Amino acid sequence: MNFELTPVQSELRELARRFVKKNIWPIVEHDEETGTFRPEIIAGLGELGLTGIPVPEALGGAGLGYQEYIVALEEIARASAAYAISVAVTGLPQVILTEGGTDAQKSKYIPPLASGKAIGSFSLSEASSGSDAGSLRTTARLDGSHYILNGTKLWTTQADSASTILLMARTGGPGPKGISAFILEKDTPGLRMGKREKKMGLHISHTMECVLENVRVPIENRVGAEGAGFQVAMNALYAGRITIAAVALGVAATALETAAHHSRERQQFGRPIGELQGVQFMLADMATSLDSARLLVQRAAWLKDNGLPFATEASMAKLAATDMAMQVTTDAVQILGGSGYTQDFPVERLMREAKVLQIVEGTNQVQRMIIGRAVHQQKEF
């Protein structure tokens, strides 16, 4: 068992680190305050091969695995969870089409996404279907060579910037078996953006309402068989939980580094506060929980890369990493005291970013349900 990064992983980390230092850190606070999303950031990451890491080289990707993917995402998230999530969400259509798309779908849609020249999105949730994704109501009715889609989707990340949206709609009866998956292209007639959500964090990453009014989608843009859409979505979410966990690692790492630096610089009672046992204990817990979560994320990525069952382990990684990030960022604000509550330091932003990571890609309550069912059925521990 080797816990060191491979040469390829180390190179990816350095590529991401240099890009982030030059291109994201200087603008992240301004862009979070103004809600500015810069597609050129994704394009720049794409030029380095960081937007299509787990995609085969024949389709324009790097031909690597999730063990490499999580290294890059953590580095990007150290500066901006929003841009890291943008990379991860652009990756969802790539993963879905790589695993279940037709040759024509793969060749048309994956290379632009893998290169960072195009941005992708994933649309599942609705007003009446969040954790209960199988209850979605958006309809897709077959009409000759096209499906006609009607409905409203919520919580669609970067839909306003995306050229390709992987969207779930109901083609059959109630429940998961009546759902199918579709590729929607930007500017398709009848598809329009509704309201942009006003969120407590991730202002760079726009979360959109998508309104579909008699949207005609060619039958060749259906992904997989009719009625297979729910499983398509779930498979994407299993993998997506690993990426969200990696984002949480990056958020927590910057919070810990900021708190540790402050503990060395801040003097109280005639000495640095880091020499006080109360602060040392907090730093110790933060570092230990970060390392523990990182090991779970690495294990889930290793299982996926090796073709082994990984869904439960992905839920464990997502649960542990995002709960950890929430605690570590909260403690970082506490260690910085009043300064931590101001926008002069990044920890207040990191704390707001960590909160949503406990919700997206399946709430942590849902992750506990998944893990609990698996434990109930397990006979040996």
Q: What residues are annotated to the active site?
A: 361
CA distances from 119 to 25, 194, 196 (A): 21, 19, 18
Would you state the torsion angle of the CA atoms of residues 340, 346, 347, 349, taken in this order, to the nearest 10 degrees?
110
Q: How far apart are CA 254 and CA 328, in angstroms?
A: 10
Q: How far apart are CA 319 and CA 236, in angstroms?
A: 17
